[in-house]
Amino acid sequence: MRVVTFGELMLRLTPPGYRKLVQAESFEAAYGGAEANVAVSLCCLGTQAEFVSKLPANDLGQAALNSLRRWGVQTGNIVRGGERLGVYYLERGASQRPSNVVYDRAHSAIAQASAGEFDWPAVFAGADWFHLTGITPALSPELADICLSACRTAKEKGLTVSFDPNYRAKLWSLSDAAAYMRRILPYVDVLITNENQAADLMDIRIPQTEINGDDVTDRGYLFLAHELQKNHGLRYVAIAERRTFSAEDNSFCAKLYDGEALCTSVKYRMDIVDRIGGGDAFAAGLIYALREGFSTQEAVSFAAAASCLKHSVEGDSSPLSAREVLSLANGSANGRVQR
Nearest residue to 88 (alpha-carbon basis) of 7, 9, 5, 172: 9
Model confidence at 338: pLDDT above 80: no
CB 76 within 8 A of CB 105: no
* Residue 59 annotated as catalytic: no
Nearest residue to 133 (alpha-carbon basis) of 95, 98, 96, 161: 161
What number of CA atoms fall less than 13 Å from residue 230's CA on the CB side?
A: 8
CB 78 within 8 A of CB 55: yes
What does the pLDDT average to over 97-115? 92
CB 219 within 8 A of CB 210: yes
CB 307 within 8 A of CB 29: no
Residue 338 falls inside a structural domain: no
Please report the pLDDT score of residue 212 as a whole number. Answer: 84
What does the pLDDT average to over 242-249? 88
CATH, residue 55: 3.40.1190.20
Please report the pLDDT score of residue 259 as a whole number. Answer: 93
> pTM for the full model?
0.94
- Helix (H) / strand (E) element for 317: namely none
Residue 183 falls inside a structural domain: yes
Q: What is the C-alpha separation between 131 and 286, in angstroms, rounded?
A: 11
The predicted-structure confidence for 313-329, as pLDDT tens digits, reads as follows: 998 899 999 999 999 99
Residue 291 falls inside a structural domain: yes
Q: Which of 164, 189, 280, 316 is catalytic?
A: 280
Domains in the chain: how many in total?
1
Quickly count: other Cβ atoms within 10 Å of residue 131's Cβ. Answer: 29
What does the pLDDT average to over 135-164? 97
Please report the pLDDT score of residue 333 as a whole number. Answer: 63
Q: Quickly state the pLDDT bin for 277 (edges 50, 70, 90).
A: confident
Q: Quickly state the pLDDT bin for 3 (edges 50, 70, 90).
A: very high
What does the pLDDT average to over 181-185? 96
Cα 196 versus chain centre, distance = 16
- Helix (H) / strand (E) element for 273: namely none
The predicted-structure confidence for 39-90, as pLDDT tens digits, reads as follows: 999 999 999 999 999 999 999 999 999 999 999 999 999 999 999 999 999 9
Residue 69 falls inside a structural domain: yes
Model confidence at 296: pLDDT above 70: yes
Model confidence at 339: pLDDT above 60: no
Residue 335 falls inside a structural domain: no
| Helix pair 195-202, 218-232: axis angle to 10 deg | 40
Q: How big is the CA angle at 2 (ends 73 and 71), to the nearest 5 degrees?
A: 15
What does the pLDDT average to over 97-122? 93
DSSP assignments along 178-198, one per residue: HHHHHHHGGG-SEEEE-HHHH
Q: Which residue has the higher pLDDT, 310 or 214?
A: 310
CB 81 within 8 A of CB 58: no
Please report the pLDDT score of residue 214 as a whole number. Answer: 78
Please report the pLDDT score of residue 143 as a whole number. Answer: 96
Contacts for 226 with CB less than 8 Å, ≥ 6 apart: 257
Please report the pLDDT score of residue 335 as a whole number. Answer: 61
Please report the pLDDT score of residue 289 as a whole number. Answer: 98
Bridge partners (DSSP) of residue 160 are 129
Q: What is the C-alpha separation between 151 and 278, in angstroms, rounded?
A: 24
The predicted-structure confidence for 153-170, as pLDDT tens digits, reads as follows: 999 999 999 999 999 998
Share of the chain above pLDDT 90, in %: 82
Residue 174 falls inside a structural domain: yes
Please report the pLDDT score of residue 219 as a whole number. Answer: 92
What does DSSP assign to residue 94?
Answer: B
Residue 101 falls inside a structural domain: yes
Which amino acid would we find at residue 83?
E
CB 194 within 8 A of CB 220: no
Nearest residue to 256 (alpha-carbon basis) of 226, 281, 276: 226
Per the structure, the complete domain to which residue 70 belongs is given by: 2-329
Please report the pLDDT score of residue 248 as a whole number. Answer: 86
The chain-wide mean pLDDT, for the chain, equals 93
Beta strand 10-14 pairing with 87-91: parallel
Beta strand 127-133 pairing with 49-52: unpaired
Nearest residue to 106 (alpha-carbon basis) of 135, 63, 139, 60: 139
3-class DSSP state for residue 213?
Answer: coil
Q: What is the C-alpha separation between 46 and 282, in angstroms, rounded?
A: 15
Please report the pLDDT score of residue 332 as a whole number. Answer: 74
Model confidence at 260: pLDDT above 70: yes
The predicted-structure confidence for 216-235, as pLDDT tens digits, reads as follows: 888 999 999 999 999 999 99
Residue 274 falls inside a structural domain: yes
Distances (CA, A) of 19 to 255, 272, 273: 36, 17, 15
